[in-house]
Amino acid sequence: MKTRRQLRMEERVKRLLGELLRDGIRDPRVGLISVMGVELTADLKQARVYVSVLGGQADDREVLEGLDGARGWLQRELGAGLGSRYTPVLKFFIDHSIVQQARISGILEDLREKGDWSPDEDED
């Protein structure tokens, strides 16, 4: 179970990284991305950062390469913004949950239009 400190730090890292990615990164491979979540280890020294590529036109591999290339700068800026003893080492991952949600919504909408399913039906 995560501590309150860990949860607070995850939110701070998420917010600061979002600002840095929006305002400071100039790598054309990165494009428009959104920080979906951050998971810190218990010692707060490593962070798994989940990003979503907006627009869906960029290649996931290229986005990750761009983020990995900017990792040093991001960690330095993050450390200055956090003001904590340690700056977590960042590891980036693509979060496909938005794409999956849109796909599921589309499937449900198709079923609704065909009359095969209604969200109000009771399950027996």
Report d(CA 29, CA 8) in Å as an integer: 30
What pLDDT is recorded for position 97?
72
What pLDDT is recorded for position 118?
66
Q: What angle do helix axes 71-82 and 60-69 make, rounded to 10 degrees?
A: 60
Reported pTM: 0.76
pLDDT along the chain (124 residues), means of 10: 91 94 84 90 94 75 90 94 90 80 77 72 54
What pLDDT is recorded for position 26?
83
What pLDDT is recorded for position 85?
85
CATH number 2.120.10.70 is the correct assignment for the domain at 4-114: no
Cβ–Cβ under 8 Å, residues 91 and 48: yes
Sketch the domain layout of the chain as residue ranges: 4-114
Neighbouring CB atoms inside 10 A of 8's CB total: 11
Query: Which runs of consecutive H residues, i.e. helices, occur in the chain?
Result: 4-23, 60-69, 71-82, 97-114
The residues facing 50 across adjacent strands are 37, 93
